[in-house]
A and B are shown apart, each in its own frame.
Chain A
Amino acid sequence: MKARIDRTVLLAVVALLIVAPWILQAVEHEFWLDILAEVLIWSLFAASVNVLFGYAGLLSFGQALFFGMGMFGVAIGIAKLGLGFWPALGLGMAVAVGTAAITGALAVRLTWHYFAIITVVFSLIFYFIALSAKPLTGGDDGTSFVMPAMLEAGEFELSLTDQTVQYFFILAVVAAAYFVKFLIVRSPFGMALMAVRENDVRASLIGLNVYFLRWSAFVIAGAFAGLAGCLFAMFGRYASATYMFYHVSGEGVVWTIIGGAGTLFGPVVGTALLIVVREELSNMWEHYPILVGIVVILTVIFAPKGLMGFWNALLDRLSQRPADRAAGEAPPQEEDAAAAPVPREGRP
């Protein structure tokens, strides 16, 4: 029953996301389409935190580094090297994944606090480098660029300058990335990661290569963050070093934890909730971050598994099968692979 509810909700949300441009047009709230796109991009960023923290048990406060690398790869590729749409995307991804592979080889030698701290240190190093390498990155001002067309065939041109095309491009990429994440989590590799998360000594004793597994998770997470950065650069036609600062990483961690770390769609839920809250409240109350901070602390204290953990517990209780309830409370939440977020369009 739980799986069926989850599937229904997931399908409903996906259907809503697909028809969203027309609904928003009908009610003349086109502005929200961009916010929806932004939510999708940042939820991909949160997914990157989730791969590391939720599944591999490594809390990274440095994912903004790869986000920024993706951004600069795209922006510098287009503005300085004159690349087209797809080569620039490829460059952004290559830079982000390359950085993740190198820094990851060093970072995953450490765990726990040390890992969290070294990821901050690495992202700070690159943040300062990006700030001081003015000719390349534009320093404080960043680099802006003019969007090249995505597809050109004679008269026909497909470009992200069209708001609807941009939305669907972002939706498709993020959905594909989440599908990849779903496959990874379900694969033997994903299971091995969770084994490492639960107990790395035992995992190594049954023959798992803990270092390599952690490094792979780090690179995959770097790829997700880099992809989010590429999308965000294309979305804003802009790259800036401020997005590499550890506060951005911190936001990703916050979204993930509030949504539910270690669940497939937790990051989407957390990101959607907090960005919608930001959009709604920032007009009414300038100091709304106070509320965000309070929600973060309350979540950590009272619902450490986040909103998805709450949702799962609720469904388990509804289905009233003690066996399910016991399974739902066990730390590894593989059943969440099929879980779905709560509907995120708070308004039409």
Chain B
Amino acid sequence: MDLVIALALNGLVWGLIIALIALGLSIIFGLLDIINLAHGDFFMVGTVLTWFVLEATGNYWLAFLIVPLLGFLLGALVERSVIQPIRGMAALSIVATFGLSIIIQEVVRAGYGAAPKRILPPIEGTIPLFGIEYDYYRIFAAAVSVIAIFVFFAFLHRTKLGTWMRAVRFDRDTALAMGVPARTVYMVTFALGFSMAALGGAVAAPITTVDFQTGVDVLPFCFMAVIIGGLGNLPGTVAAAVLLAVTEGVVTSFTDPTVARIVSLCLMSAVLIARPHGLFTGATR
């Protein structure tokens, strides 16, 4: 029973981090119509940047600040150089972002090295939770993710830029006619997506390993969350990410992780075929 609780809690924490990353994937898809195969690598860049910040300053908290900022700048750069020229060509975007993914992984392998490394969590210790001793840092990671998700939704609904983003998604042509600066909105959206994935990387770095290939594992999971939640349905994405990760965590406690992954993939194909617009259609826009 303890194992089930521990793995379910791990699932919950991981689900919240994935939700943060998947939200980035979801806004990039919803606004720019880009299927971003490099999104997992954006996450990986976040973990690697965290490692570098830690190497340079020794201060973990600084990483939480610097990494999303660097992610934002990199995102803006990528949008201007790669994404903008192919806007509106969904199929080609898959190919272009696949090329981007190759470049990012290889640059990281060249600059950081191929060997996976571990980062120690900045807060040690455990606290009792539901009858088990649970890592302090994981609770903290979950809290950071939840706060970031809330800040993101507040940004989307309470600021001018956020309103523009929702307007462009709701009705691109009308928004353009109303004078919404579409190019800026696209760039900010993509940069924000990168930034959220990078923050997810900073949060998850002590939990996973820092390796140029981690993005490859994270990407399918994010896509599952986005699809099951409904493409472009942001609260649905969060719910689906948590649901998936907890399910996978609980299934893992009975069998091995590979089988758990197969179960969630089958679940996802069932959702795709039966309800291609997601489990939560009509819940929220």
Residues on A close to B: CB < 8 A?
Answer: 53, 59, 61, 106, 109-110, 112-114, 116-118, 120-122, 124-125, 128-129, 131-132, 247, 250, 253-254, 257, 286-287, 289-290, 292-297, 300-301, 304
Contact = CB atoms under 8 A, between A and B. Distances in A.
Given A59-B94, A250-B98, A254-B99, A304 B261 contact: no
Contact of B98 (A122, A125, A254): A254
Contacts of A257: 92, 95
Interface in B80-119: 82, 85-86, 89-92, 94-96, 98-103, 105-107, 109-110
Interface string B121-138: 000000000000000000
Contacts of B103: 289-290, 293-294, 297
B90 A112 contact: yes
Contact of B276 (A114, A116, A120, A286): A114
Contact of A300 (B92, B231, B256, B266): B92
A301 B85 contact: yes
A246 B80 CA distance: 27
A116 B94 contact: yes
B111 to A, nearest CB: 9
Nearest to B261: A128
Given A128-B258, A293-B99, A293-B102, 5 more contacts: A110-B276, A121-B269, A122-B269, A131-B258, A287-B109
A12 B226 CA distance: 50
B85 to A, nearest CB: 4
B239 interface: no
A300 B95 contact: yes
Cβ-closest 6 pairs across A and B: A296-B99, A293-B103, A293-B102, A289-B106, A293-B99, A132-B258
Nearest to A59: B91
B86 A129 contact: no
Contacts of A112: 90-91
25 contacts: A114-B227, A114-B276, A116-B91, A117-B227, A120-B223, A121-B268, A121-B269, A121-B272, A124-B265, A125-B265, A125-B269, A131-B258, A247-B216, A253-B95, A253-B98, A254-B99, A286-B110, A289-B106, A290-B106, A293-B101, A293-B103, A294-B99, A297-B103, A301-B85, A301-B86
Interface string B191-235: 000000000000000000000000010001001100100010000
Given A254-B98, A300-B95, A125 B223 contact: no
A292 B99 contact: yes
- The residue among B98, B105, B258, B276 with the most chain A CB atoms within 10 A of its own CB is B98
Nearest to B105: A289
A113 B256 CA distance: 31
Contacts of B82: 297, 301
Interface in B257-271: 258-259, 261-262, 265-266, 268-269
Contacts of A296: 95-96, 98-99, 102
A69 to B, nearest CB: 16
B238 to A, nearest CB: 19
B110 A121 contact: no
B273 A110 contact: yes
B251 interface: no
Interface in B30-59: 35, 37
B256 A132 contact: yes
A128 B262 contact: yes
A47 B141 CA distance: 46
- The residue among B29, B96, B266 with the most chain A CB atoms within 10 A of its own CB is B96
A59 B35 CA distance: 12
Nearest to A245: B216
Contacts of A292: 99, 102
A110 to B, nearest CB: 6
B280 to A, nearest CB: 17
Contact of B265 (A121, A132, A253, A295): A121
A289 B213 CA distance: 14
A300 B86 CA distance: 8
A12 to B, nearest CB: 30
B271 to A, nearest CB: 10
Contacts of B273: 106, 109-110, 118
B259 to A, nearest CB: 6
Given A59-B94, A117-B227, A287-B109, A128 B272 contact: no
A263 B114 CA distance: 38
Given A131-B258, A289-B102, A113 B35 contact: yes
Contacts of B98: 250, 253-254, 296
A295 B100 CA distance: 10
Interface string B141-173: 000000000000000000000000000000000
Contacts of A118: 269, 272-273
A120 B107 CA distance: 25
A293 B220 CA distance: 21
Nearest to A295: B99
B87 to A, nearest CB: 11
Nearest to B29: A113
B272 A304 contact: no
Nearest to B35: A113
A109 B269 CA distance: 12
